[in-house]
Amino acid sequence: MVPSPEHWSLVVAGGGPAGFMAAIAAAEAGLQRVLLLESTPEPLGKVLISGGGRCNVTHACWDPRELVGYYPRGSKALRGPFSRFAAGDAVAWFDEHGLALVEEADGRMFPQANRSTAVIQCLRQAAQRSGVVLRTSEALQAAAQAPGGGFALQLRSGGDLRADRLVLATGSHPSGRRLAQSLGHGLVPPVPSLFTLAFKPNPLVALAGVVMDPVDLELELDLDQGAGPPPPGMAHRFRQSGPLLITHWGLSGPATLRLTAFAARALHHCGYRGTIRVDWSGGRSQPQLEQLFAECRRDQAKRQLNNARPWPALSRRLWQHLLDQQGVEAERRWADLGKRQQQGLIESLRRSSYAVAGRGPFGEEFVTAGGVPLGEVNLATMESRLTPGLYLAGELLDVDGITGGFNFQHCWSSGWLAGQAIALN
């Protein structure tokens, strides 16, 4: 006689933040027989390496209407989910589970212990206490709707399972996308988001390591240069402000990462080529800069240009680079700066253009844009609109945020909503 497969009320595929939250929320709301499958030997692998090993758990942004603005994919559609479980709820949830979060000056929130292992320990303990069964090195290979309801599941190790409900929380892994497709879902093609920009050659290579804050960036793309016609409504101009880091290959830092997040699809369409204009002036207008230069000519008349920057926060190396670029001798005194040279320097401070030739080195992308379209999911419960009993959470969905804890926040929100809905239905 063939033994009947193990039967679970809920199987969650994917032991990442979204899967853990879904399994714990369901179990804590009273659901029994919850199984969490993780294909690798250690769950929560991305949490471990996140935030430079500190895990930026969420962001101190308490208003769901403001929070949605940080999601290039998702945006307004996330108002509903975030009105039920947003950043404040995540902070309270972790607090109730013994993990205090602290806010940094820029709003990012980290565990008080300042280690991502504290987040992992909190989630693993909560799962264990609530009765979630975790199986590691066990991947979900195939899933089909069972004739009598629920799902027939096949594990990569060869075993079979039955589940009344199934959560897919497999992140950006292709196997999860295939599972979602096999259960009737479409897929917005995945493209990288949150990456750095490369110049080839890099005219700023001598400035590697320089940080300027704030800087205004404007990326201009020629959509007609892309492979095939651009999708209707695709934007070709993107702007961001914030800290910028010059690297030996091009540009990085929060402003660049935010820019590439919002421009992820358009950049992909254009083969990661375009023009970026950098305003190094910290938002100063032309008349303000002219005034500043006039003051320097008056107050620092005898000082050499390379020894007296127009304002102290302007990087010395960058200023020297701009002098060099404009052909102005570094030893020239402020009093001897010609009108045309001044105009050239002000122009390069306000509008230096560089040709973008690609993404930064491989391995820097933090999240994937694309995934299961949000229109195919009931965002109040995260249940599939196409396959009853199937729920989707986390990065598998076509949602991604900029850096700052927003990607984990979406995992906490979507996982919690799925777990609650499953337990209470």
Stretch that binds ligand FAD, among 168-176, 216-224, 267-275, 300-308 (CB under 6 A): 168-176
Shortest CA distance to 231 belongs to which of 266, 188, 262? Answer: 266
Q: Does 94 bind ligand FAD (CB under 6 A)?
A: no
Q: Is 19 in the site for ligand FAD (CB under 6 A)?
A: yes
Q: How far is the CB of 235 from ligand FAD (least distance, A)?
A: 24
Q: How many residues bind ligand FAD (CB under 6 A)?
A: 36
Q: Contact region for ligand FAD (CB under 6 A) — 46-54, 222-230, 259-267, 275-283?
A: 46-54
User: Least distance in Å: CB of 385 to ligand FAD?
Assistant: 20
The amino acid at 72: P
3-state secondary structure of 398: coil
Does the protein bind ligand FAD through residue 120 (CB under 6 A)? no
| Interface with ligand FAD, residue 387, by CB under 6 A | no
| Single residue of 5, 29, 40, 187 touching ligand FAD by CB under 6 A | 40
For ligand FAD, which residue has the nearest CB? Answer: 16
Considering the rule CB under 6 A, would residue 192 count as an interface residue with ligand FAD?
Answer: no
Is residue 348 near ligand FAD by the rule CB under 6 A? no
Sign, CA dihedral 117-123-129-135, equals: negative
Copy the structure tokens of residue 167. Answer: 């959560």
Mention every residue, 6+ apart, whose C-beta is less than 8 A from residue 400.
71, 72, 73, 74, 193, 194, 261, 264, 367, 368, 369, 407, 410
Residues 204-263 that bind ligand FAD (CB under 6 A): none
What does the DSSP assignment read for 157-187?
Answer: TS-EEEEEEEEE--TT-HHHHHHHHHTT---
CB of 398 vs ligand FAD, minimal distance in Å: 12
Which residues on adjacent β-strands are paired with residue 43? none
Q: Least Å distance between CB 350 and ligand FAD?
A: 33
Q: How far is the C-alpha of 35 from the C-alpha of 182, rounded, in Å?
A: 21
Structure tokens at 409: 């926040």
Beta bridge partners of 390: 166
- Residues contributing to the site for ligand FAD (CB under 6 A): 13-19, 37-40, 43, 45-46, 49-51, 55-56, 139-140, 169-171, 173, 175-176, 366-367, 394-395, 405-408, 411
